[in-house]
């Protein structure tokens, strides 16, 4: 199979996904509306690729990730994994799917059981899912620790005995232990020091190459996304506003919001030299009552009358944008 053919095989298809949370007000806590955290999002992940998902805090990135692994039940839309519709399957039916679909969380402290030695943390899911014979467990735990750059002796320690970066490595080893096809990484490095972030991102990149992992990589830091993603989707207030191959999106953003996000980011990278320093004005609107027309019009320096009235749809080309007046 050529790289091109491998690229064209979809592993995960998200179709018109809506994930809403009820807003409860008043004495009896009745739902008075919905936070439209994800509001009609369609995305496809191809085998072996890493798709970065960026946007400001609260725009719905985690809600997409959590819906994909079914920690949230979507309000509407479909999620197809390896061609199978997993949108509304029962928890029991989901069990075999979960093996192939793992999530790495932002907080390495909260995601490990403090009373379990690392050996058991890594061994237990493999044994529970009968992926391994008892006699092979030790060897597999050693292999996983080596894969994420930890010593074998780490297996006999407890989570509190590790640094944040080491805990995140353990979290990655645990996700890999079940040999998943897809990993959803939800801000896997944002709780860590910058130098440790670089190490973990480097590790993720090596693992992608070695294991041909498919990855949905969520972050609000553009830098992390740029390092690991082959394509990038930009999200604003529950919707995708731009999606393109990473190099193209960073070099030639077409949505004003993407340009502003990039303008707020100043890395020592020649790609960004000469780019104006820009600031995104105003607050993020209320996701339970999004603005009419284009949701970004209240903060967009280029907004015109049409933007207030008419909602732009995402174009279908490889560099897709949802804007009436995309940047040239
Ligand atoms: N369980 C919940 N109940 C009610 N509202 C929620 C819930 N989870 C998230 N939200 C709301 O949904 C919106 C999207 O949240 P989400 O966590 O998906 O954002 P995010 O893009 O991941 O943000 P961050 O970058 O801060 O992690 C926010 O307005 C948030 O307040
Ligand atoms: Mg989040």
- Cα–Cα distance between 170 and 151 in angstroms, integer? 11
pLDDT tens-digit map of 22-69: 987 766 667 778 999 999 999 999 999 999 999 998 999 999 999 999
* Positive or negative: CA dihedral 128, 132, 137, 141: negative
The answer on 161 and 186 residing in a single domain is no
Residue 327 lies in a domain: no
The answer on 87 and 7 residing in a single domain is yes
For residue 265, what pLDDT is reported? 58
The answer on 195 and 171 residing in a single domain is no
Neighbours of 65 (CB within 10 A): 22
The answer on 258 and 115 residing in a single domain is no
- Tokens 């020592």 locate to 268
- Cα–Cα distance between 63 and 272 in angstroms, integer? 30
If you average pLDDT over every residue of the chain, what do you get? 88
For residue 264, what pLDDT is reported? 64
- Cα–Cα distance between 79 and 303 in angstroms, integer? 33
Ligand 2 centroid to Cα of residue 153, in Å, is: 33
Ligand 1 centroid to Cα of residue 189, in Å, is: 18
Lowest mean pLDDT of 178-182, 193-197, 270-274, name the range. Answer: 270-274
Kindly tell me if the per-residue pLDDT of 284 is higher than 90.
no
- Return phi, psi of residue 215, to 5°: -145, 130
Ligand 2 centroid to Cα of residue 65, in Å, is: 9
Residue nearest (by alpha carbon) to ligand 1 atom 17: 62
pTM higher than the cut 0.85: yes
**What tokens appear for 163 in the block?**
């640094």
Residue 106 lies in a domain: no
Nearest atom (ligand 1) to Cα of 66: 18
How many domains does the chain contain in total? 2
Instruction: Find the CATH number of the domain harbouring 257.
Output: 3.40.50.300
Secondary structure class of 24 (helix, strand, coil): strand
Secondary structure class of 139 (helix, strand, coil): helix
Ligand 1 centroid to Cα of residue 63, in Å, is: 6
Nearest atom (ligand 1) to Cα of 19: 12
Mean pLDDT, residues 265-288 taken together: 64
Answer with the residue of higher pLDDT: 215 or 109: 215
H-run or E-run covering 93: helix 91-100
For residue 27, what pLDDT is reported? 67
Q: Which domain holds residue 86?
A: 3-100+180-321
Grade residue 225 by pLDDT with cuts at 50, 70 and 90. confident
The last residue of one of the domains, among 179, 197, 218, is 179
- Evaluate whether 192 touches 106 at the Cβ level (below 8 Å): no
The answer on 61 and 7 residing in a single domain is yes
Q: What is the largest CA-CA distance in the chain?
A: 69
Residue nearest (by alpha carbon) to ligand 1 atom 6: 21
Mean pLDDT, residues 100-112 taken together: 84
The answer on 233 and 189 residing in a single domain is yes
Kindly tell me if the per-residue pLDDT of 3 is higher than 60.
no
Kindly tell me if the per-residue pLDDT of 212 is higher than 60.
yes
Which of the ligands is closest to the CA of residue 236? 1
Mean pLDDT, residues 123-137 taken together: 91
Residue 328 lies in a domain: no
Ligand 1 centroid to Cα of residue 94, in Å, is: 24
* Percent of the chain residues topping a pLDDT of 70: 91
Q: Which residues contact 71 (CB under 8 A, 6 or more apart)?
A: 103
Nearest atom (ligand 1) to Cα of 23: 4
Which residues form ligand 1's pocket by a CB distance below 6 Å? 21, 35, 37, 55, 57-63, 220, 287
N- to C-terminal Cα separation, the chain: 36
With 0-12 CB in 10 A as exposed, 13-18 as middle and 19+ as buried, what is 236?
A: buried
Q: Which residues contact 233 (CB under 8 A, 6 or more apart)?
A: 43, 51, 52, 53, 54, 240, 242, 243
The answer on 91 and 121 residing in a single domain is no
Ligand 1 centroid to Cα of residue 35, in Å, is: 9
Residue nearest (by alpha carbon) to ligand 1 atom 4: 21
With 0-12 CB in 10 A as exposed, 13-18 as middle and 19+ as buried, what is 158?
A: middle
Residue 105 lies in a domain: no
The last residue of one of the domains, among 179, 205, 224, is 179
* Positive or negative: CA dihedral 12, 178, 99, 225: negative
Ligand 1 pocket check: which of 31, 33, 54, 58 to mutate, most ligand atoms within 8 Å of Cβ?
Answer: 58
Residue 326 lies in a domain: no
Task: List own/partner pairs for 189-197 with CB under 8 A and 24 or more apart.
Answer: 189/219, 189/224, 190/106, 190/219, 190/220, 190/221, 190/224, 191/106, 191/107, 191/108, 191/109, 191/164, 192/108, 192/164, 192/165, 192/168, 193/164, 193/165, 196/163, 196/164, 196/165, 196/168, 197/224
Nearest atom (ligand 1) to Cα of 22: 4
Grade residue 1 by pLDDT with cuts at 50, 70 and 90. very low
- Evaluate whether 175 touches 183 at the Cβ level (below 8 Å): yes
Residue nearest (by alpha carbon) to ligand 1 atom 2: 21
Ligand 1 pocket check: which of 55, 60, 107, 295 to mutate, most ligand atoms within 8 Å of Cβ?
Answer: 60
- Evaluate whether 165 touches 193 at the Cβ level (below 8 Å): yes
- Tokens 């994800």 locate to 38
Ligand 1 centroid to Cα of residue 281, in Å, is: 21
For residue 157, what pLDDT is reported? 96
The answer on 221 and 74 residing in a single domain is yes
Grade residue 4 by pLDDT with cuts at 50, 70 and 90. very low
Residue 59 lies in a domain: yes
Which of the ligands is closest to the CA of residue 38? 1
- For residue 233, give the nearest of 23, 24, 54 by alpha carbon: 54
The answer on 43 and 168 residing in a single domain is no
Ligand 1 pocket check: which of 20, 38, 62 to mutate, most ligand atoms within 8 Å of Cβ?
Answer: 62
Residue 151 lies in a domain: yes
The answer on 275 and 211 residing in a single domain is yes
The last residue of one of the domains, among 124, 145, 179, is 179
Answer with the residue of higher pLDDT: 276 or 261: 261
The answer on 94 and 35 residing in a single domain is yes
pLDDT tens-digit map of 145-179: 998 999 999 999 999 999 888 998 999 999 999 98
Grade residue 6 by pLDDT with cuts at 50, 70 and 90. low
Q: What is the 3-state secondary structure (H, E, C) of 272-326?
A: HCCCCCCCCCCCCCCCCCCCCCCCCCCCCCCCCHHHHHCCCCCCCCCCEECCCCC
Number of H helices, E strands in the chain: 11, 11
Residue 299 lies in a domain: yes
């Amino acid at each position: 199979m050529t790289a091109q053919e491998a690229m064209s095989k979809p592993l995960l298809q998200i179709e018109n996904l809506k994930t809403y949370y009820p807003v409860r007000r008043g004495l009896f806590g009745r739902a008075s509306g919905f936070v439209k955290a994800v509001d009609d999002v369609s995305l496809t992940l191809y085998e072996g690729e890493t798709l970065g998902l960026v946007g400001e805090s609260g725009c719905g990135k985690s809600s997409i990730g959590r819906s994909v692994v079914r920690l949230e039940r979507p309000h509407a839309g479909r999620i197809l994994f390896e061609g199978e519709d997993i949108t509304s399957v029962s928890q029991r039916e989901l069990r075999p799917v979960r093996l192939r679909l793992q999530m790495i969380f932002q907080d390495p402290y909260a995601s490990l059981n403090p009373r379990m030695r690392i050996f058991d943390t890594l061994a237990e899911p493999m044994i529970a899912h009968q992926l391994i014979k008892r006699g092979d467990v030790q060897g597999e735990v050693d292999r996983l620790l080596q894969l994420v750059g930890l010593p074998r002796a780490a297996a006999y320690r407890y989570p509190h005995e590790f640094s944040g970066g080491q805990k995140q490595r353990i979290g990655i080893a645990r996700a890999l232990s079940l040999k998943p096809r897809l990993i959803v990484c939800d801000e896997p490095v944002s709780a860590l020091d910058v130098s440790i972030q670089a190490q973990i991102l480097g590790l993720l990149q090596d693992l992608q190459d070695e294991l041909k992992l498919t990855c949905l990589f969520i972050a609000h830091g553009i830098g992390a996304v740029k390092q690991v993603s082959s394509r990038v989707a930009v999200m604003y207030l529950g919707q995708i506003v731009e999606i393109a191959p990473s190099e193209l999106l960073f070099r030639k953003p077409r949505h004003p919001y993407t340009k502003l996000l990039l303008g707020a980011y100043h890395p020592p990278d020649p790609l960004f030299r000469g780019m104006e320093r820009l600031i995104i004005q105003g607050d993020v609107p209320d996701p339970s009552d999004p603005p009419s027309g284009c949701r970004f019009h209240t903060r967009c320096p280029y907004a015109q009358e049409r933007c207030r009235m008419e909602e732009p749809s995402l174009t279908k080309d490889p560099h897709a944008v949802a804007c009436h007046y995309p940047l040239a």
